[in-house]
Each structure stands twice: as C-alpha cells, then as structure tokens.
Chain A
Amino acid sequence: MINYITLTYQVSGDDFTRAGEASSDVKSKLKQMGVSPEMVRKVAISMYEGEINMVIHAHGGIIKVTISPHEILMVLEDQGPGIPDVEKAMQAGYSTAPENIRSLGFGAGMGLPNMKKYTDEMDIKTKIGVGTTVTMKVKL
C-alpha cells in the first residue's frame, strides 16, 4: 500500500515572528504519526534551518514536504538572490548575514552544514537573480 502525504507551506519573508512555524507544524504532525523521535529531530532541524534561510536570505518562499513510508522529502523553493558560490556557502562558519540578523543570534554559518549533517541527501540548485531550490531527504 502506498501511502503518502504532501504538506505545502508559504513562508513569508523577513517575518521573524512567524519564522519556524512550518517546521514546528511538520514536527508535530510527524510525532502524531508515530515517526521515531530521532527522525523527527533530523527533519525538524534541517527544515528549520532551510526555512530560516529563506526568511533571512531570500524574502521567503514555498516549502513542500512529502511524507511517505520510507522517507521524508523536503523541497524549499525561493525566488531570492541565489547563492554565488554554493561550496563556500556550505562551509561551516561562512555567513553573509547582516548585523541586525546577527543580533538575533543567527549568522554562525552553521545552517547549511546542519542541513547536510541531519539529512541523508541534500541538493542545492541556485541561479543568481532567479532563486534557490534546496531538496533534502531523510530516510525513515
């Protein structure tokens, strides 16, 4: 039996009062579905980092999460500025976050490394001036 659910979230840009809501909604849904705490943590952490990046760096975007029996697929799509050098952006400690964002506690340059660390697959497609799509998979 194939049994999957797709959840779609509109993430608004530069709205820190709502940032993280999509991730926490997915987290509580996965918990309700009886997904193991370890997997829930992986998804919650990687999705939150991606969601925050959308808010901070790309004026928001759309997140689609597909939950199937063997994996959780997260696709985060934005129409932001794009990432000029993905390899550099992936390095721990690399951040272009401005001062006002850093004063909120962001800007350690650990978001993308966390996403890589907590997912089984991660792919970034980006084009300057067009946007960025981050695809992540966590295997159950």
Chain B
Amino acid sequence: MTLQDLVNKNIFSISNLGDNLNLPVVGPYCCDLLSIAMGKAPAGSAWVTVMGNINTIAVASLTEVACIILAEGASLDDTAKMKAKDQNITVLSTEKPIFEAALSVYQLLNA
C-alpha cells in the first residue's frame, strides 16, 4: 500500500500532502516522545502521535517516515503547518485515539 492508497481510503483527513505519495507504507509506529521516535521510528512508517508542533515535523523529516497521523483530534499549529508545507511532509489527522488510528493502518496493510 502506497501513501497515496492510504490517503485514498478517506479514513483520515488531510492536513498537508507531501511529495512522497508513491512511497510504500511499511507499518504504523506510535510514540509521543520525540527523541524516542527519533531513535526508533522506521523509515516509511505511518507515525501516529498527538504532538502537532514544529519539532514533530523536524523528526518526521529526519527519520523519513511516510507520514504523520495526528490522533485524538490533534492538529498542527501554524508554524508546524508552514514547516510541513515547506518540507513536503504528509500530515493526516483523525478524531480516533492513537491505538485505533494505528490499528486501521495495520488492518489496511494486512487486509
């Protein structure tokens, strides 16, 4: 499943579309602590978090995750939104809790 396929399922709202939509999504990854995500988030994963600040975008860019999924109705603040646009980071969002958001990615990948 590419990131474009995931976007097309319409289960997540779109905050920003990056330039990596052809990338395969390798799986969900969940963490809200940035330096743990920095050390552990797999490249190509869908990173589920409630943190929507500029540092989340920096970590996503440096770890090369496929996208950020903001759970629990979290959203990007204004500077983070600008940074996401600027760095071409795909950011999706949902009202679902973290586990359920990750589970839906997992289920789509294993369907």
Contact = CB atoms under 8 A, between A and B. Distances in A.
Interface of A: 16-17, 19-20, 23-24, 27, 37, 41, 44-45, 48-49, 52, 104-111, 113-114, 117-118
A105 B62 contact: no
B36 interface: yes
B39 A48 contact: no
Contact of A114 (B32, B39, B51): B39
A106 B38 CA distance: 11
A105 B79 contact: no
Given A49-B38, A110-B35, A105 B55 contact: yes
Contacts of A23: 58, 62
Contacts, number: 73
B33 to A, nearest CB: 4
B81 to A, nearest CB: 12
Contact of A24 (B34, B43, B51, B62): B62
B70 to A, nearest CB: 12
Contacts of B33: 105-108, 110
Contacts of B53: 16, 104-105
B55 A108 contact: no
A117 B38 CA distance: 12
Interface in B45-73: 49, 51, 53-56, 58-59, 61-64
A110 B58 contact: no
Nearest to B43: A41
Contact of A110 (B36, B54, B61, B87): B36
A109 B79 CA distance: 25
Contacts of A27: 61-62
A139 B64 CA distance: 21
Contacts of A107: 33
Nearest to B51: A105
Contact of A106 (B35, B61, B62, B64): B35
Contact of B62 (A45, A104, A109): A45
